[in-house]
Chain A
Amino acid sequence: MIKDFFLTLVRNRKSLAGLCILAFFVFVAAFAPLLAPHPAKADRVVTTRLVKAETGDPETVAEGEASDVREVETYRVTTVREYEKTTDYFPLKAKPGKGHPLGTNHAGQDLFSQLVWGTRVSVSVGLATGLFVTLLSLTLALVAGYAGGILDDVISFFTNVFLVIPGLPLIIVIAAYVAMKGVLPIVLILGLTGWPYPTRLLRAQVLTLKNRDFVRVSRSLGERPSFVIFREILPNMISIVMAEFFASSMAAIMGEASLEFIGLGNVTVVSWGTILYWAQANGALLSGAWWWFLPPGLCIALLGTAFVLVNFGIDEISNPRLRKR
């Protein structure tokens, strides 16, 4: 079922484009250690070189590129070996150039490396939250839609109530009370506030499917509810569930970036949102450091567009009217 669904997605031009962008970011996130030239918070490169030994040949132990600021110290490890340790500090707020393709920030940290490492945090928080929201709302939708009766009334009522309470102010107020250790609190906060809209859509779908003939037949034949739900209803909801997953992930990435930009995230973690936070806090804008705040936002927008494109594809697949004639 899921395989069929992905095959249809790949055949649609829009969703294929979206999936490619998404795959690119997932690739960057997965291989961040290989792609990033420096650790996320490195502001210097230390080179240790053997300058004098019995053999006489200089041997480099670790190496990095040179920069404006350099400290050299020589020390002996044994009586016969002498090392030279060179510390090259990265320039501060440097324009993009050799050694730093996206420049550096106020602390001399390489922004390209930060962007790559930040991709890892932002993408994983986004997808994890998306998954969390989807599972939560799917469970609620199945319970409400399938069980019906008072359970449905209660769940639907609360869905409608929380649907209209504005999300961002609520998230901000909750986040202000929570001590942000790591990124898990963000996933929880965004997840626990993001469920109403998907729940409503998914529940409507469960209701439609529940009244289809094939489901009615198996129910009247006395199939177990678990069979009807997992074998008959769920497989027919894959496209809408995936659409909700992508939409929730996009909302989560935006929400994460917003929270971190305000300074409510964990600002010691390097992510797209916190790069923007530090840029704003250090006056990147008014010192004209465009290389600092431009790339993270572009990444967010690009990833957001990827999710939108995939969902366009899903819409076109499930709603023939939207398809090009």
Chain B
Amino acid sequence: MKYFLRKLGMLAFTLFVSISINFFIPRLMPGDPARALLDKMEGLPPEQIESVRAAFGLDTGDSLLVQYGKYLGNTLRGDLGVSFSRFPMPVTQVLRIAIPWTIGLLALCMVISFALGTAIGIAAAWKRETRLASFSVGFFSFIRSFPYFWLGLIFIYFFAFKLRLFPIGGAYAVTETRGSAAWWLSVLRHGTLPALTICVSSIGGWMLMMRNNMINVLAEDYITVALAKGLPLRRVKALYAAKNAILPSVTGFAMSLGFVVGGGLLTEMVFSYPGVGYMLYQAVNAKDYPLMQAIFLFIAAAVLVANFIADIAVMILDPRVRDGAA
């Protein structure tokens, strides 16, 4: 329980830090932040500039502390300002369109790549003497070094442009009625390449992490004892070794989450997949600062909550943590 409360406190504090970072980034930039922001918006209609001033509390004559207080209040109420590029839509509303796509894509990919990578890692550690195992280690570390967005470009080039197997971008066929069977099929077809990109890029990380944990566990005495007792190999592999090796992987899952989410954002940008990442790309290009910052806040919050869930999973899986010994 103490562990749970500590993690909950950490979640609250990290959320608070993210919200504060979001407030201070524009203000910490060299030069007069308000001026710089307004200069960047040159050519925008006055009502948009006014909305930014209101949203950011710039040029209002309030002290920094008052601005900060107002900002915190607004954020907690879910008011993150108005988008420039889709004026006068509130950014939260813009964001709401994109969120389901990203969550659908990323959640699916993470589950697939975590499961596959962990399974391959277990196998590679169990049979580490074989050629196939050492080859797979080299292969996956090479694959892992590809930038996500570049792998996406390659997939588009070969599978969408050359072979014409999949669409080049987007998330669904605009010609189909939303919600129909054909529409869902088009969603699948559009999602295949982005999903493949994310899975292929992230699988190596899980695989290598699991392999190393597993090798460490396999060197433990209790494994030798289990083998000496003549327990079935499969039982030793699954219940004695893998079960214990997976714990650091779950913790690592939380740690790598931010990285995979980052990669997912880039993948969306390459595929013009209408999720949060592509929206961030559009916001950056349109200099839509309120939208950009709202997206950062959303992603940070999502990752932090997912981290919290992973911590809870560790609590359930690890009796040492559960019983408060560690």
Contact = CB atoms under 8 A, between A and B. Distances in A.
A217 B10 CA distance: 37
Nearest to A255: B262
Interface string A224-265: 000000000000000000000000001000100110011110
A285 interface: yes
B280 A169 contact: yes
A288 B144 contact: no
Chain A interface mostly helix, strand, loop or mixed?
A: helix
Chain B interface mostly helix, strand, loop or mixed?
A: helix
B299 interface: yes
B165 to A, nearest CB: 15
A293 to B, nearest CB: 5
Contact of B145 (A163, A166, A290, A304): A304
B215 A322 contact: yes
Interface in A159-180: 160-170, 172-174, 176-178
A279 to B, nearest CB: 8
A321 interface: yes
A297 interface: yes
Given A173-B292, A174-B25, A254-B147, A165 B141 contact: no
A177 B295 CA distance: 15
Interface stretch (B13-21, B47-55, B66-74, B116-124): B13-21
Q: Which of B36, B146, B216: most chain A CB closer than 10 A?
A: B146
Interface in B127-164: 129, 141-142, 144-147, 149-151, 153-154, 156-157, 161-162
A173 B293 contact: yes
Contacts of A164: 14, 254-255, 258, 303-304, 307
A309 interface: yes
A250 B141 CA distance: 13
Contacts of A169: 261-262, 265, 280, 295-296, 299-300
B258 A161 contact: no
A160 B146 CA distance: 28
A293 B284 contact: no
A285 B258 contact: no
Contacts of B150: 257, 276, 293, 296-297, 300-301
Given A170-B296, A176-B292, A165 B17 contact: yes
Contacts of B36: 177
B29 interface: yes
Contacts of B269: 262
B58 interface: no
A187 B153 CA distance: 26
B146 A297 contact: yes
Contact of A165 (B18, B142, B284): B18
Contact of A262 (B144, B151, B212, B281): B281
A86 interface: no
Interface in B20-34: 21-22, 25-26, 29
B130 to A, nearest CB: 12
B87 interface: no
Contact of B284 (A176, A250, A321): A176
A160 B215 CA distance: 27
Nearest to B262: A168
A312 B211 CA distance: 13
Contacts of A254: 147
A305 B142 contact: yes
A301 B300 CA distance: 28
A300 B157 contact: no
Q: Which of A169, A197, A294: most chain B CB closer than 10 A?
A: A169
Nearest to A158: B17
Given A172-B284, A174-B25, A167 B262 contact: yes
Contacts of A176: 284, 287, 289, 292
B177 interface: no
A47 interface: no
B215 A321 contact: yes
A254 B266 CA distance: 12
Interface in A113-170: 160-170
A173 B147 CA distance: 20
Contacts of B215: 321-322
Q: Which of A173, A254, A312, A322: most chain B CB closer than 10 A?
A: A173
Contacts of B261: 166, 168-169
Given A160-B10, A301-B145, 7 more contacts: A168-B258, A170-B296, A264-B284, A294-B154, A297-B146, A301-B142, A308-B144
Interface of B: 10, 13-14, 17-18, 21-22, 25-26, 29, 36-37, 129, 141-142, 144-147, 149-151, 153-154, 156-157, 161-162, 168, 212, 215-216, 219, 254-255, 257-259, 261-263, 265-266, 269-270, 280-281, 284-285, 287, 289, 292-293, 295-296, 299-300, 303-304, 307
21 contacts: A165-B18, A165-B258, A165-B303, A165-B304, A166-B299, A166-B303, A168-B258, A169-B299, A173-B22, A176-B289, A262-B266, A263-B284, A276-B149, A285-B153, A285-B161, A288-B161, A297-B146, A297-B151, A301-B150, A304-B146, A325-B129
The 10 lowest CB-CB distance pairs between A and B, nearest first, are: A304-B145, A168-B262, A297-B150, A166-B258, A301-B145, A308-B141, A169-B299, A305-B145, A166-B303, A173-B296
